[in-house]
C-alpha cells in the first residue's frame, strides 16, 4: 500500500535487558500506552547490551521466555525478537529503522524509558539521528531526577520536540535488586509476575 494511504500507527518500544523483566517495566509501559494512546507496545529484549558489557547476563532465550510470560495477558503488549536475531550490538537506531520498514513511514514510534535512561541518552549510538526518528518518553524512576536544562543544552530543539515526560506511580524495583534477592534466597513474589517467578525457580536462574 502507498504510505500516504496507510493509517498512522502509534507504536511503543519498550527496550531493556529484562534480566529479569519486573512489574515496573510492565507498569511504565502500560502507563505510557494509555497516556500516549499507543496502538501497541513492543517489548524488545536486548541481545548484546552495549551499556552492560562486562556483566554476565542470563542467556537470551531465558530473557525472551520471561518477557513472553510477563506480557501475554495484555492484548496491547507484544514481544519482538528483532534484537536477538540481529548480529552485533543492540543499537536502538537499527531497531527503529527496522520498525520503520515494518510499519511504514506513517508510524510514530515512542521509545518508553525510565528517567535514568533519559539521563544517559547522550551516550547512545548516533543519538541525534535516533531523536530525529522517534520520540522518547521518560517516566519517573525513584532516585533518578531528570536535568531538563542539561537535556536542552545537549539536544536543543530536538529535546523540546522529541523527549516527553510522564509522571507514573514510582516503584523502587530493579532487575539488579531482584537478582540479588534470588541469590540471597529472599522472596521476589509480587516484584515479578507469578509466571516469571515460577520460571526463575524452575530454571534455577540467578542462584
Instruction: Give yes or no for residue 139 binding ligand ATP (CB under 6 A).
Output: yes
Among 25, 33, 63, 162, which residue sits at the site for ligand ATP (rule: CB under 6 A)? 25
Which residue's Cβ lies closest to ligand ATP? 114
The interface region with ligand ATP, picked from 70-78, 111-119, 126-134, 195-203 by CB under 6 A, is 111-119
What is the Rg, in whole angstroms, of the alpha carbon atoms belonging to the chain? 17
Q: How many CA atoms lie within 13 A of 164 on its CB side?
A: 14
Helices of type H across the chain: 23-35, 60-71, 82-85, 92-103, 115-120, 127-133, 148-155, 157-162, 175-183, 194-203
> For ligand ATP, which is the closer residue by CB, 101 or 145?
145
> Count of H helices and E strands in the chain?
10, 6
Quick note: the x/- pattern for ligand ATP over 91-110, rule CB under 6 A, is: --------------------
Peptide bond before residue 197 is cis, with ω within 30 degrees of 0: no
Instruction: Give yes or no for residue 23 binding ligand ATP (CB under 6 A).
Output: no
Quick note: the x/- pattern for ligand ATP over 172-201, rule CB under 6 A, is: -xxxx-------------------------
Q: Are 33 and 72 in contact (CB under 8 A)?
A: no
Question: Could you tell me the smallest distance in angstroms from the CB atom of residue 25 to ligand ATP?
Answer: 5
Residue 45 Cα to chain centre, angstroms: 8
Name the residues that contact ligand ATP, by CB under 6 A.
Answer: 16-19, 24-25, 28, 113-114, 116-117, 139, 141, 171, 173-176
Amino acid at each position: 500500500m502507498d504510505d500516504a494511504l496507510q493509517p498512522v500507527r502509534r507504536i511503543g518500544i519498550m527496550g531493556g535487558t529484562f534480566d529479569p523483566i519486573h512489574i515496573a517495566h510492565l507498569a511504565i509501559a502500560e502507563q505510557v500506552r494509555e497516556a500516549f494512546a499507543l496502538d501497541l507496545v513492543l517489548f524488545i529484549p536486548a541481545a548484546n547490551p552495549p551499556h552492560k558489557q562486562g556483566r554476565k547476563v542470563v542467556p537470551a532465550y531465558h530473557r525472551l521466555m520471561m518477557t513472553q510470560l510477563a506480557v501475554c495477558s495484555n492484548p496491547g503488549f507484544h514481544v519482538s525478537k528483532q534484537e536477538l536475531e540481529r548480529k552485533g550490538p543492540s543499537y536502538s537506531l537499527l531497531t527503529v529503522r527496522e520498525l520503520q520498514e515494518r510499519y511504514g513511514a506513517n508510524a510514530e514510534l515512542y521509545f518508553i524509558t525510565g528517567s535514568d535512561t533519559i539521563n544517559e541518552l547522550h551516550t547512545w549510538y548516533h543519538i541525534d539521528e535516533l531523536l530525529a526518528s522517534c520520540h522518547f518518553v521518560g517516566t519517573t524512576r525513584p532516585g533518578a531526577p531528570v536535568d531538563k536544562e542539561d537535556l536542552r543544552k545537549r539536544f536543543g530543539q530536538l529535546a523540546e520536540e522529541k523527549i516527553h515526560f510522564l509522571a507514573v506511580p514510582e516503584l523502587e524495583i530493579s532487575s539488579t535488586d531482584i537478582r540479588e534477592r534470588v541469590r540471597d534466597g529472599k522472596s521476589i513474589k509480587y516484584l515479578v509476575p507469578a509466571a516469571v517467578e515460577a520460571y526463575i525457580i524452575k530454571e534455577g536462574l540467578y542462584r
